[in-house]
Homo-oligomer: A and B are copies of this chain.
Amino acid sequence: MTDTAREYAQEKIAKKDFSCAKEYTLSMFSGKYKIVILYHLGHNGTMRFSQIQRLLDHASHKMLTQQLKEMADDNLVDRREETINNGKAVYYSLTDTGESLIPIVDDMFSWGKNRLASLEVSSDFN
């Protein structure tokens, strides 16, 4: 994102002003794809960059790198780089902090699935 809300919360925290719980919380989630990334890492464990990219076929290379970098800065994901003979392989996994978000992420998606299911049922009457 390089989102304004994100920067706003980070500045306050940098100044030891912790009176921004809502802004802060949102800044953890609000990035494009972040929740989906958390979800996949939570359920698949460690993944390479290219694996994540394959799962998010709408996300551009740039966006993905950006989001993952932010999440690493926020200590939600771990980034481990390995150099192979020809190139490099980068592995991402959840930190403990990232893991602690998984229940919430799961709740969000199961809420969504339920809601979609009820929409689907009521659409039978069209």
Least distance between A125 CB and chain B CB atoms (Å): 12
For A5, the chain B residues whose CB sits under 8 A away are 32
Distance between Cα atoms of A29 and B30 in the complex (Å): 9
Q: Within 8 Å of chain B (Cβ to Cβ): is A63? A: no
Chain A at the B interface: SS class: helix
Q: Can you pick out 20 interface pairs between chain A and chain B where the beta carbons lie within 8 Å of each other?
A: A5-B32, A13-B119, A16-B120, A18-B117, A18-B120, A21-B112, A22-B36, A22-B112, A24-B112, A24-B115, A24-B116, A25-B108, A25-B113, A25-B115, A26-B36, A28-B115, A29-B108, A100-B111, A103-B107, A104-B104
Contacts A104-B107, A108-B104 given: A116-B18 contact, CB under 8 Å?
yes
What residues of chain A have their CB less than 8 Å away from a CB belonging to chain B? 5, 13, 16, 18, 20-22, 24-26, 28-30, 32, 35-36, 39, 97, 100-101, 103-104, 107-109, 111-113, 115-117, 119-120, 123
The answer to whether A21 touches B107, judged by C-beta atoms less than 8 angstroms apart, is no
Least distance between A118 CB and chain B CB atoms (Å): 9
Least distance between A39 CB and chain B CB atoms (Å): 7
The answer to whether A101 touches B111, judged by C-beta atoms less than 8 angstroms apart, is yes
